């Protein structure tokens, strides 16, 4: 009995000793993993998923990083364009109500883009990023939607007797540098340096316009069909031919100037001659801020983040003409984006710097109301309809004629600036939702490839959304113009001042254009070398 007890105690001591040694060994191993890596120790692949990768410099085993990427992206976008109607006709609204049921056109756009990117490590988890997207070719066209090409005089009616544009419609091809982007990415946390924390990246990027801004153009100029208001003294013989890319103030759209007889009796001069380039850039300076977070858990790495894009119009673009006192919206839309995704790593050999990653991502974008290049930018902006060629005056003034001032206390100030229609329109706020997947193959320490595709759904929205009056200025009947209410005593109550960008033929309820069933398909292939 005593022998057994002594033997049992001895065995227990030995087992506890072995467990203690094993525990100390594990703790030592864990501690060794957190110790600084020796210079002679080989390093292994430790980068996170693509969205949170940051090139760095002055690291323990790598004093400098330079990543250069070259990629090709193809985008195909389509949408259906409708128009509100108050026409008393079978199938359309009656009784003063409006309807969105008039088929206008089917929109199609294709873009071939070359994406170039350089990422330069500055310090640990700090990188300078330079991007230059180059549009190789962009094409846009409008064609009939369910027979709409046979009813153009009704669905595309402007003022009485005029048509806004013709179907089919095609824009000229565009190409050039989309913008120059310079940014800075900062890795606030890095899971490879501290496995208890996620990888967290914050970045800011400036986008600069370095190419000709887009101008409204027609790739198939025709004989001008709106001749009632075109002055005969235009120094031309035979039918007038519309320029492909006429200046907004080229009232006759013929590139040679001339006069325009306004119905109010004012003679307007077409003071711009020649023709413009179609352009390719948005004519803005952009600022984008973003932050992304990811955490590797064995063979998956979920991630998420947000980004926001702010754009500020340049004076050299057609945006500059919309920065006016009465304008309700005179800036591009602001874009906010939420990103959620997961990277799956089914195979990797870390000491050989080889990895295969499957990335699944969702992006939700929100566009605020703003003045933008819509699906009808070229068609409306290059229109030869007098209602769109005729400029609005920027201001109204008190009626100086005592005989008519009681009935009409405010008239257009012909000495104020003239606001010409450029094709840029007020686009209603809306959302866009993108689902994408990407396959990444890192073949070695210095090269990797990305192949991906994405599908985007765009929420239906109105693209000619301007309002007639700006209510922020409602204290002066002399500047109110038509923005007034009639009182019972015969007087007037100002409700604002006129919006100089408002066009009755496209912005009044019952005539507005709307986009629906809009979607886009993206396919891309990138190659990256890493020094």
Contact criterion met (CB below 8 Å) for 399 and 414: no
Least-confidence region, from 252-256, 298-302, 339-343: 252-256
pLDDT digits (tens, 9 = 90+) for 488-510: 777 899 999 999 999 999 999 98
pLDDT grade for 21, boundaries at 50, 70 and 90: very low
User: Nearest-CA neighbor of 182 among 159, 202, 205?
Assistant: 205
pLDDT-based confidence at residue 462 (cuts at 50, 70, 90)? very high
What confidence score (pLDDT) does residue 11 get?
A: 45
DSSP state of 297: B
Q: Which of 90-99, 106-115, 260-269, 353-362 has the lowest mean pLDDT?
A: 90-99
Distance CA 123, CA 118 (A): 16
Is residue 209 exposed (0-12), middle (13-18) or buried (19+ Cβ within 10 Å)?
buried
pLDDT of residue 228 exceeding 70, the answer is no
Mean pLDDT of 271-277: 73
Q: Collapse the DSSP code of 506 into the 3-class scheme (helix H, G, I; strand E, B; otherwise coil) and give the result.
A: helix
CA distance 514 to 517: 10
Which of 91-100, 145-154, 286-295 bottoms out in mean pLDDT, i.e. has the lowest? 91-100
C-alpha separations of 329 from 282, 334, 370, 412, 518 in Å? 17, 12, 6, 21, 24
- Average pLDDT, integer, range 226-233: 41
Q: Which pLDDT score is estimated for 246?
A: 86
Around 70, how many Cα atoms within 13 Å sit in the side-chain half-sphere? 2
Average pLDDT for 232-238: 41
For 477-490, the pLDDT digits (tens) are 999 999 999 887 77
In the prediction, which pLDDT does 154 show? 86
What's the burial of 84, exposed, middle or buried (CB within 10 Å: 0-12/13-18/19+)? buried
Assess contact for 60 and 42: CB atoms under 8 A: no
Distance of alpha carbon 128 from alpha carbon 55, whole angstroms: 8
Residues 6 or more apart whose CB falls under 8 angstroms from that of 258 comprise: 230, 231, 233, 234, 235, 251, 252, 269, 270
Query: Do the Cβ atoms of 285 and 279 come closer than 8 Å?
Result: no
The span from the CA of 71 to the CA of 129, in Å, is 16
The label of the residue with tokens 């013929």 reads 254
Separation of first and last alpha carbons in the chain? 73
Radius of gyration of the chain (CA): 32
Which one is predicted more confidently, 515 or 228? 515
Residue 92 has pLDDT above 60, yes or no: no
Predicted confidence (pLDDT) at residue 454 exceeds the cutoff of 60: yes
Q: Could you tell me the two tokens for 298?
A: 């064995």
Q: List pLDDT tens digits, range 101-154.
A: 789 999 999 999 999 999 999 998 999 999 999 999 999 999 999 999 999 988
Q: Which DSSP symbol is given to 40?
A: T
Give the per-residue pLDDT at 98: 57
Q: Quote the pLDDT of residue 257.
A: 60
Residue 250 has pLDDT above 50, yes or no: yes
Query: What does the block give as tokens for 390?
Result: 């005729």
The encoded tokens of residue 296 equal 């590797």
- For residues 396 and 480, the answer to whether their CB atoms sit within 8 Å is yes
Residue 293 has pLDDT above 70, yes or no: yes
Give pLDDT, residue 407. Answer: 87
CA angle (302 as vertex; 300, 304 as ends), nearest 5: 165
Half-sphere exposure for 254 (CA within 13 Å, toward CB)? 25
pLDDT of residue 221: 60
Find where tokens 């001339």 sit: 258
pLDDT, one tens digit per residue, over 339-389 is 999 999 999 998 899 999 999 999 999 999 999 999 999 999 999 898 998
Which of 81-95, 255-269, 353-367, 469-483 shows the lowest per-residue confidence on average (mean pLDDT)? 255-269
Q: What share of the chain is helix, strand, coil (3-state, %, to 5)?
A: 15, 45, 45
pTM of the model: 0.85
Q: What is the pLDDT of residue 42?
A: 56
Q: Which has more confidence, 188 or 7?
A: 188
The DSSP result for 407-460, as a single string, is: T--EEE-TTS-EE---S-EEEPPEEEEEEEEEEEEE-SSSEEEEEEEEEEEE--
pLDDT of residue 247: 87
pLDDT score at 27: 37
Query: What does the mean pLDDT of the chain come to?
Result: 84
What does the pLDDT read at residue 275? 80
Shortest CA distance to 158 belongs to which of 96, 226, 91? 226
C-beta separation of 334 from 370 below 8 A:
yes
Q: What is the pLDDT of residue 269?
A: 57
Where is pLDDT greater, at 472 or 6? 472
* Angle, alpha carbons 92-95-100 (nearest 5°): 35
In which band, very low, low, confident or very high, does the pLDDT at 240 lie, cut at 50, 70 and 90?
A: low
> Could you tell me which residues are beta bridge partners of residue 208?
180
Q: Which pLDDT score, from 0 to 100, does residue 319 have? A: 84
Structure confidence at residue 226 (pLDDT): 43
pLDDT band at 46 (very low <50, low <70, confident <90, very high): confident
> In which residue are the tokens 């001591």 written?
13
Q: What is the DSSP string of 102-122?
A: EEEEEEEEEEEEEEEEEEEEE
Q: How far is CA 386 from CA 108, 123, 167, in A?
A: 27, 60, 18
pLDDT at 13 over 90: no
Q: How far apart are CA 125 and CA 119, in angstroms?
A: 12
Inter-residue contact 486 to 494 (CB < 8 Å): no
User: Looking at the predicted structure, is the pLDDT value of residue 261 above 80?
Assistant: no
**Residue recorded with tokens 């070398």:** 529
- In this prediction, residues 11-16 reach a mean pLDDT of 45
Q: Regarding predicted confidence, which is higher, 40 or 188?
A: 188
Percentage of the chain exceeding pLDDT 70: 80
Given a cut of 70, is residue 16 above it in pLDDT? no
Please give the structure tokens belonging to residue 246: 């006429």
Residue 113 vs residues 71, 174, 207, 363: alpha-carbon distances, Å = 8, 11, 17, 21
For residue 418 the two structure tokens come to 């003239």
Beta bridge partners, 363, equal: 339, 434
């Amino acid at each position: 009995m005593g022998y057994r007890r002594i033997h049992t105690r001895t065995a227990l001591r030995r087992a506890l000793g072995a467990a203690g040694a094993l525990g100390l060994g594990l703790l030592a191993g864990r501690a060794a993993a957190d110790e600084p890596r020796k210079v002679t120790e080989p390093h292994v692949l430790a980068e996170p998923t693509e969205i949170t990768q940051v090139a760095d410099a002055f690291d323990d085993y790598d004093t400098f990083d330079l990543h250069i990427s070259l990629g090709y992206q193809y985008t195909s976008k389509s949408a259906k364009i409708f128009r509100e109607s108050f026409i008393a006709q079978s199938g359309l609204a009656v009784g003063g109500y409006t309807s969105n049921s008039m088929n206008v056109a089917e929109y199609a756009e294709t873009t071939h883009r070359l994406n170039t990117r350089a990422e330069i490590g500055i310090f640990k988890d700090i990188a300078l990023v330079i991007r230059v997207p180059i549009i190789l070719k962009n094409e846009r066209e409008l064609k009939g939607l369910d027979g709409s090409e046979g009813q153009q005089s009704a669905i595309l009616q402007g003022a009485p007797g005029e048509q806004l544009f013709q179907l089919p419609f095609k824009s000229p091809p565009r190409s050039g540098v989309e913008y120059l982007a310079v940014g800075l990415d900062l890795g606030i946390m890095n899971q490879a340096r501290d496995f208890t924390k996620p990888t967290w990246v914050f970045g800011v990027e400036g986008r600069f316009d370095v190419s000709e801004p887009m101008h409204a153009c027609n790739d198939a100029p025709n004989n001008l069909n709106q001749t009632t208001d075109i002055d005969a003294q235009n120094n031309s013989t035979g039918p007038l031919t519309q320029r492909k890319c006429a200046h907004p103030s080229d009232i006759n759209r013929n590139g040679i100037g001339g006069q325009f007889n306004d119905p109010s009796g004012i003679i307007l001069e077409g003071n711009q001659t020649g023709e413009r380039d179609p352009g390719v850039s948005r004519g803005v300076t952009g600022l984008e801020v973003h932050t992304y977070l990811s955490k590797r858990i064995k063979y998956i790495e979920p991630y998420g983040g947000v980004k926001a894009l702010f754009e500020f119009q340049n004076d050299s673009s057609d945006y500059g003409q919309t920065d006016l006192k009465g304008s309700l919206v005179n800036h591009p839309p602001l874009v906010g984006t939420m990103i959620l995704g997961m990277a799956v790593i089914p195979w990797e050999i870390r000491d050989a710097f080889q990895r295969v990653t499957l990335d699944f991502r969702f992006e939700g974008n929100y566009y605020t109301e703003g003045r933008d290049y819509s699906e009808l930018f070229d068609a409306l902006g290059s229109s030869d309809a007098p209602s769109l060629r005729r400029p609005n005056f920027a201001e109204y003034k008190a009626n100086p004629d005592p005989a008519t001032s009681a009935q009409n206390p405010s008239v257009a100030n012909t000495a104020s600036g003239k606001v010409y229609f450029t094709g840029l329109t007020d686009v209603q706020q809306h959302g866009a939702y993108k689902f994408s997947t990407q396959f990444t193959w890192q073949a070695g320490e210095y090269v990797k490839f990305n192949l991906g595709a994405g599908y985007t759904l765009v929420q239906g929205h109105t693209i000619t959304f301007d309002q007639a009056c700006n209510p922020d200025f409602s204290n002066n009947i002399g500047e109110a113009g038509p923005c007034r209410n009639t009182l019972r005593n015969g007087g007037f109550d100002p409700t604002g001042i006129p919006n100089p960008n408002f066009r009755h033929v496209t912005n009044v309820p019952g005539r507005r254009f709307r986009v629906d069933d809009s979607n886009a398909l993206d396919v891309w292939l990138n190659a990256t070398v890493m020094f």
